[in-house]
Structure 1
Amino acid sequence: MSTKQGPSSRIDSVPVDSAQDVRGIIAQRDLVVDLIRTACVVLVVVVHVTMVGVAVSPDGIAVTSPLQEASWYVPATWAGQVMPLFFAVGGFASAVGWRSTIARGGGVRDFVAKRLVRLFRPAVPLFAVLAVGLGIASALGTPADLLGEVAFGIGSPLWFLAAYGITQCCVPVMARLHARAPWRTLGVLLLLAVAVDALRFATGAAEVGLLNLGPVWLFAQQLGFLWADGWFARRSRVLLAAVALAGFALLVPLTSVGLWAPDMLQDLNPPMLPLAVLAVSQVCLVQLVHRPLTRLVRTRAAQATVFVLGRDGMAIYLWHLPLYIALNGVALLLAVPFPAPGSGTWWATRPVALVLVLAAAIGVARALRRWDRPLPRVEPGTDRPGWAVVAVAVLCTVGPAFVVMQWHLSFPVAVLGAVAVPVGVWLLGRTRPLPLPRRV
């Protein structure tokens, strides 16, 4: 399905006046984007299944990280760090979603409410289960060090909710900036990312890097806007290859001066400049293989995979680590022999672990399907909540995930999420009647 469009098709620059125009906007959906989104989720599961190892010895149970101990780990992160691409894919979807919202007569509050509800509603049962589970584990006297390490692992993917929620709230503003000055917007975001990293290095305060949750991830999102415009599709393969290679070549000196880590996963939280550079190379590489990926996604096998994994992608992402740790716990209770993490036997069992985790995550996603439904359209004569309510809802939804990202998961933080996130989702789902027109 082609996404090539003329220059006038930039986000927000085309008036939409008919149902046919709405169908045309929705038709911009690129099945390759769905395939990539699904592949990114699966790759994240692969990384975590190979990164977390459980070692059982007479001294007790320890959690290790075999992947990070591998000699090839650091160069592998240059290919395995897919979060920049994930945010670019999100930018593509957001661009189409924003135009569709405008076409249907919606506005900023409507768009933000729909996107945040779709993002955070699947997290409601997760926070509830985490609160109960951590509470029971604490009451049973689980060693604090082991419980803290497990909670840290379980909560590590939740940073994405905070970062992606922030970028989604910014889509209407960034879409307008993109329509007016796409390259200037990208340039300013890149300069801001450099400035934040420079301030972080100068002060030695890692917390300063949190400011880059905006510039770095919004930069990747803006690339997704260009992608939705068809800009990359109109570039020659030679140029795309040259830009992709230039990006990777630039990463070599950037990560060799001692400021940015060559480990792309280490540059993730808070995000740093190399991830913005990596985003450019990744989007160019995707466009280079867009034609074969298009042929692939037309096959029944690929469509079935995307259908099974893609439609529950967020639930799989949120639940895979808790389920992986729970499955290891069940194996411990059943006295299943554990191979030494990092051994040949351990690596040979990773495909089995991956299948089991994905199957369990899909099962949980199916059981919790009611928590993954989109927000319905507003009825005629009604509107989304006012700005004050939306602001409170954003704080309730994004806030707990931000706390996890900064201070890690714990029982109190899980309780905060179990209370605040459903309140935020409920507030975003409310509507209010439009005021009646005044009689003249």
Structure 2
Amino acid sequence: MTQTALLGRARPQTPRDPFIDLLRVFGMALVVLQHWSIPVLGFDGARLSTGNALATPGVWVVTWISQVMPLVFFAGGAANAISFRRARGSSPAWLGSRLRRLAWPLLPLAAVWIPLPHVLGALGVPEQPLETGSRLTGQLLWFLAVYLIAVTATPYLLRLHARYGWRVPAVLGLGAVATDVLRFGTGAEMLGYANIVFVWLAVHQLGFFYVDGRLRRTGLLALAGYGAAALLVGFGPYPGSMIGLPGAEMSNMAPPTLAMLAVSAGQIGLAVLLRPLIVRLPTERLMGWAGPRIMTVYLWHMPALFAVTGVVVVLFGVETPQPFSGGWLAGWPLWLGLLSVVMAWLLRGFARFEEPPAVPARELGWAAALGAAVLVGGGLLTLTAAGFAPGIAPVAGTAALVGGLLLTRAGRRPSAAVEPPAGPAEPPAAERLPVSSSA
């Protein structure tokens, strides 16, 4: 049996699924709303202080819904399965196409942010707020680096899915259990980062089952997931919040934990359970607008926050009121309105870079495709670690992204004597994974 037949035998002509599209848009909207709402900001004339409104006692329970990374990876798994099966071409060519869509919109972000700290510093912007904004802009790219692992592994993961079914996420789940046992048993915190693979690939794998129509008993999945999370938090070493909070001894996100995997199961079960209601929502116009802009919104919503913070907090000295107080609630709509105006201006300038330029048809090999993945991944990790603060790191990270993009154009042109394999069909804008992040 050929690889294409093996991977596509369940639903070789899987159509687009509006539920997956809506999950992505919901995830992006919630990420933006959360990132714009939770900062607690103050400026003393030299330093910008940053807190988190979700650190308010008792509010952590909100993060069991507002931490949407599980839904994003689940939707990503479904989207990758749909895209790969529809492509009906070679795996390296499909990977090259996905890498171009992932890396291309990052170039204008780097083109603005590499010189911007130098320019603003020369204009007298205080050093510490400027460095904070520069670093956080890059740190939010961590999700793309992790998602790149899932994209690169998708052809192999789909083969495992076709052959072993539920045993694949089960093994990944056991890997997450073993990782946490070793981490907490030995005190070696670095061991926990193995769960970047175990937790997020397990969630990504569930998207394959959804596409095949094999994700059933979702009410039981939701109850089991949230119930297990409650037990792990109540009787285990895990904090209640599913995002990192200031002053917390540990985080369920960095690295992800077994508690995060349990919440993931709960979220996915609940979302699929509600699917009949969700797909009946009148969202056609929203999806038509959001599809071509979703990556741009993700990449630029934090720069919008820094721009408004620079004017309101740093320049005019207006501090954030006590979270969830009357003043905070009264000022929240105005704050979101200012951010939306800046975001609309940024979209007008940068949404045009959402779509990568077309490239000539080439027979991309695995060496070039994997080399491109390594370069793009290395560039993302560099920017995640160093951000866009002045130095050589952001330049090196951007150079790696450019190198990866160039490698996706490698390979020889198809021979005229032999019919070339069908290249990967470029999915519609609304089918692409809208990326997300956690606070």
Structure 1 distance, partners of 2:261, 2:360, is 37
Q: Which amino acid aligns with 1:329?
A: G
Structure 1 distance, partners of 2:214, 2:91, is 25
Counterpart of 1:311 in structure 2 is: 292
1:31 and 2:26 equivalent? no
Q: Which amino acid aligns with 2:274?
A: V
Structure 1 distance, partners of 2:17, 2:359, is 23
Alpha-carbon distance change, 409 to 220 in structure 1, aligned in 2, over 3 angstroms: farther
Counterpart of 1:279 in structure 2 is: 264
Answer 1 or 2: which has greater helix percent.
1
Alpha-carbon distance change, 256 to 127 in structure 1, aligned in 2, over 3 angstroms: farther
- Structure 1 residue 338: Cα displacement: 4.5
* Residue segments in structure 1 that go unaligned for 5+ positions in a row: 1-8
Q: Which amino acid aligns with 1:228?
A: V
Counterpart of 2:421 in structure 1 is: none
Deviations 1:120-148 (A, max 9, x none): 21111112222112333555676554444
Comparing 386-395 with 265-274, greater Cα deviation is found at 386-395
Counterpart of 1:128 in structure 2 is: 111
Equivalent position SS for 2:48: strand
- Structure 1 residue 244: Cα displacement: 0.7
* Contact 2:8 2:85 (8 Å CA) reproduced: no
Equivalent position SS for 2:408: helix
TM-score under structure 2 normalisation?
0.84
Which of 389, 393, 397 is matched with 2:372 structurally?
393
Which of 242, 255, 263 is matched with 1:270 structurally?
255
Q: Which amino acid aligns with 1:101?
A: A
Counterpart of 2:303 in structure 1 is: 322
Which of 360, 370, 376 is matched with 2:342 structurally?
360
* Contact 2:368 2:410 (8 Å CA) reproduced: no
Deviations 1:371-417 (A, max 9, x none): 221564753xx312x33332332222111322344566533332223
1:101 and 2:96 equivalent? no
Q: Which amino acid aligns with 1:394?
A: A
Alpha-carbon distance change, 362 to 142 in structure 1, aligned in 2, over 3 angstroms: closer
Structure 2 distance, partners of 1:54, 1:168, is 36
Structure 2 distance, partners of 1:222, 1:357, is 36
1:402 and 2:419 equivalent? no
Equivalent position SS for 1:65: strand
Counterpart of 1:248 in structure 2 is: 226
* Contact 2:117 2:131 (8 Å CA) reproduced: no
Aligned length: 406
Deviations 1:341-364 (A, max 9, x none): 524323333333334434433442
- Structure 1 residue 60: Cα displacement: 4.7
Alpha-carbon distance change, 367 to 148 in structure 1, aligned in 2, over 3 angstroms: closer
Equivalent position SS for 2:321: coil
* Contact 1:196 1:209 (8 Å CA) reproduced: yes
Equivalent position SS for 1:311: helix
Counterpart of 1:288 in structure 2 is: 273
* Contact 1:51 1:68 (8 Å CA) reproduced: yes
* Contact 2:253 2:260 (8 Å CA) reproduced: yes
Comparing 158-167 with 120-129, greater Cα deviation is found at 120-129
Counterpart of 1:184 in structure 2 is: 167
1:69 and 2:55 equivalent? yes
TM-score under structure 1 normalisation?
0.83
Counterpart of 2:435 in structure 1 is: none
Alpha-carbon distance change, 133 to 347 in structure 1, aligned in 2, over 3 angstroms: farther
Comparing 134-143 with 314-323, greater Cα deviation is found at 134-143
* Residue segments in structure 2 that go unaligned for 5+ positions in a row: 244-250, 419-439
1:115 and 2:98 equivalent? yes
Counterpart of 1:47 in structure 2 is: 34
- Structure 1 residue 339: Cα displacement: 4.7
Alpha-carbon distance change, 257 to 150 in structure 1, aligned in 2, over 3 angstroms: farther
* Contact 2:371 2:404 (8 Å CA) reproduced: yes
Structure 2 distance, partners of 1:281, 1:165, is 24
Alpha-carbon distance change, 366 to 226 in structure 1, aligned in 2, over 3 angstroms: farther
Equivalent position SS for 1:63: strand
Counterpart of 1:4 in structure 2 is: none
Structure 1 distance, partners of 2:149, 2:74, is 14
Alpha-carbon distance change, 377 to 93 in structure 1, aligned in 2, over 3 angstroms: farther
RMSD, aligned CA: 2.8
- Structure 1 residue 254: Cα displacement: 1.1
